[in-house]
A = this chain, B = another copy of it.
């Protein structure tokens, strides 16, 4: 059923957060809060070298240390074959994942896992790590993306040959893949252009910087039955990957989802779980592992740093006639940067006749990248939206007008293939135009920037169940870890369908053995896909409730109407009966046919693409180079905001992360390829005083493929901030900052250079 044009009583309101109290009172149980009787502590020994051959590993001294129960190295893991999978928002090769979890033969980055121990205390485990004697042959290393592409660069993988080029190369390379998209004839387009702008931009890798480090508690029983408590964006993902990396049958693994303290894409793959399983198997005890913040930085994935070249050509009236982009993405030590979406998203907002995009996926001696909120899109958009700003300046045109002129609409064929349908980009631009922030005069010394952003959003496989309790209260269960408020949104959709209050429905995240398969919480898919499954399950429950009422009244089920949580006889022939409410039908469910429940699994299609536009006012301190965000407005088409507060929170959170990416966050490497700022004191994420109140404006262009019109909202908001801030700095100072982060030293240097 479709409720888009219905009058809604629950969806769109702001009930109290069902996950709020537990989180603010410290009661929520994260993976690090779990423990088991007699459990051991697992710790990982990591490579101090950016690139080195592992000559030998002697674990005998560590094993002899009292309290040490197991030591594992790559010898304890199967040497698995190359096999591709799709993980949330990007490709994943299980062989690479296995080698990332435990190095085999070579250490490919500083922090790469070499061995692991399980011991009775954390202190003994730490001492045991020191006793593991690893002999390395240190190799030349390469950190930066363009250096890694150089013909004479140190090669990470002897068996890596560039894909996507013809003829197939005969020499190994750090370029894993070349991606190209073409539409029309870009060169011909530029030939027609009145105005051309060109720019070269760089972004730094930034970490997802979730507050909760990776942690898990694993028990391997001697009969091979495994229980895992872990925090992740997908406990079914943990089950699948752990099974794959260790060659186990999935039914022997039960994964319990702990509360998750942020993921942002970075918890769509695994680091610790297979190691903990191997340690538990070897020691015969439960094993708990928990990364330090330093390990999170050195050992888990940031998103790519990149180089972005953009060239735009336009007619005098602002019509863009040609666009080119060259993207070089760091993949870290294994292939798999978000170069694909990087090549697609930058120009996805615009209706362009001639486009030429080339992207490179490049390995270097850094931690393997992981997905980070709209993977690839913020990087590509930093380049494109900065260049759009330059184009507007060169045309002498308002930047909003330039975008309106070229905006993608329904029917726009993208340069990467699909045609946009049911999108709300023009509605977003209209909202910019009419917003008080956009219309307000600039304050003295302030600059204003505008940038837009796009994300696909995805659907996929989800399962949801709706159970009617004996007292008529409702429990909905899903397989989707709740990161951004999905317990609230799922419960509200169920409540709306059933005609009860949001408080009447409790939503839980069920473990891998208790609910059907559900893909990761990623791609902004949960409220869309899991919501669709839950809505259908609730509809099945309503159908069953109507059947029970019909049987009670002995009338045909067609003569029963469900409204506001009650069954009514409907139509003139139905007869006169007192309506039956949920509680009374629930009370009698045993006698009228047994418990009333429904489980629905879907592979949801038709996630509506998301578009946003951010307006940012800044001031720049010319003494220090410090950029202050003075006002920030984020406008986004959210389809339908199921619980507007969570949606606003997503937009504010995404913008705040974008502000950090824009102004401060970066990886600092020394000459040996070792990270020098692996901690929150030196890797500077925004704190409250760095960020103004971010005004989130919800534009609602319903997605007809979702019962309530929802589209993903979590990823778009991190796309525009870097360019919006760069454009605002340009407006305030006249300086174009092409390199992230636009930190005080860099801004001050740019001011100095400009005189």
Point out the residues of chain B lying under 8 angstroms from A243, CB to CB.
471
| Chain B, Cβ-Cβ closest to A286 | B27
Q: CB of A139 within 8 A of chain B?
A: no
Chain B nearest CB, measured from A541 CB (Å): 11
Is A250 within 8 A of B471, CB to CB?
A: yes
In contact, A515 and B513 (Cβ under 8 angstroms): no
Cβ-defined contact, A510 with B513, below 8 A = yes
Residues of chain A from 438 to 468 with CB closer than 8 A to chain B in the complex: 460-461, 463, 465, 467-468
Query: How far apart sit A29 and B460, CA to CA, in the bound complex (Å)?
Result: 35
Task: State whether B513 touches A590 (Cβ < 8 A).
Answer: no
Which of chain A's residues 186-205 have a Cβ closer than 8 Å to chain B?
Answer: none
> CA of A469 to CA of B475 in the docked complex: distance in angstroms?
24
A18-26, A296-304, A609-617 - interface stretch:
A18-26
Q: Which residues of B contact A379 (CB under 8 A)?
A: none
Point out the residues of chain B lying under 8 angstroms from A603, CB to CB.
590-591, 593-595
Establish whether residues A508 and B514, one from each chain, have CB atoms under 8 Å apart when the complex forms. yes
Complex contact A506–B516 (CB within 8 A): no
In whole angstroms, what is the CA distance A473 to B236 when docked? 13
B-facing residues in A586-627 (Cβ within 8 Å): 589-591, 593-599, 601-603
A528 contacts partner chain B, Cβ-Cβ < 8 Å: no
Tell me whether A250 and B597 are in contact (CB under 8 A): no
For the complex, what is the distance from the CA of A33 to the CA of B29, rounded to whole Å? 17
Known: A461-B595, A516-B597, A603-B590. A506 touches B225 (CB 8 A): yes
Contact yes or no, B470 A517, CB < 8 A: yes
Q: Say whether B593 contacts A506, CB under 8 Å.
A: no
Does A16 interact with chain B (Cβ within 8 Å)? yes
Q: Which single member of B33, B250, B252, B475 contacts A251 (CB below 8 Å)?
A: B475
Q: A21-B225, A251-B505, A513-B506 are in contact. Are A470 and B240 (CB under 8 A)?
A: yes
* Bound-complex Cα distance A264 to B23 (A): 39
Query: In the assembled complex, which residues on chain B have CB atoms less than 8 Å from the CB atom of A29?
Result: 36-37
Q: How many angstroms from the CA of A460 to the CA of B590 in the assembled complex?
A: 8
Bound-state Cα–Cα, A195 to B506, Å: 66
Q: Is the Cβ of B595 less than 8 Å from the Cβ of A251?
A: no
**Which of A149-157, A215-223, A306-314, A647-655 binds B?**
A215-223
* Bound Cα distance from A505 to B471, whole angstroms: 33
Q: How far is the CA of A74 from the CA of B730 in the complex (A)?
A: 71
A474 to B470, CA, bound (A): 29
| Smallest Cβ-Cβ distance to A598: which chain B residue | B599
Q: Report B-chain residues with C-beta under 8 Å of the C-beta of A79.
A: none
Q: Is the CB of A516 within 8 A of B595?
A: yes
A383 to chain B, nearest CB (A): 34
Q: Are B508 and A21 in contact (CB under 8 A)?
A: no
- Residues of B close to A517: CB separation below 8 A: 467-470, 589, 595, 597
A507 — nearest CB in chain B belongs to which residue?
A: B513
CB interface residues, A 313-333, toward B, < 8 Å = none
CB distance from A629 to the nearest CB of B (A): 34
* Contacts of A204-262 to chain B: CB distance below 8 A: 219, 221-223, 225, 239-240, 243, 249-252, 254
Are B513's CB and A477's CB within 8 A? yes
- A356 partner residues in chain B, CB cutoff 8 A: none
CB of A504 within 8 Å of the partner chain: yes
Is A511 in contact with chain B by the CB < 8 A criterion? yes
Chain B residues near A516 (CB-CB < 8 A) = 465, 467, 595-597
How many Å lie between the Cα of A81 and that of B328 in the bound state?
Answer: 73
CB pair A508–B513 under 8 Å, yes or no, is yes
User: Which residues of chain B are near A251, meaning CB under 8 Å?
Assistant: 469, 473-475, 504-506
Extra A-B contacts (4), CB below 8 Å, given A240-B471, A249-B504: A18-B223, A21-B221, A254-B506, A468-B517
Q: Which 5 A-B pairs have the closest CB atoms?
A: A251-B473, A516-B597, A594-B603, A514-B514, A599-B599
Q: 5 interchain pairs (CB within 8 A)?
A: A22-B225, A27-B219, A27-B221, A250-B473, A252-B473
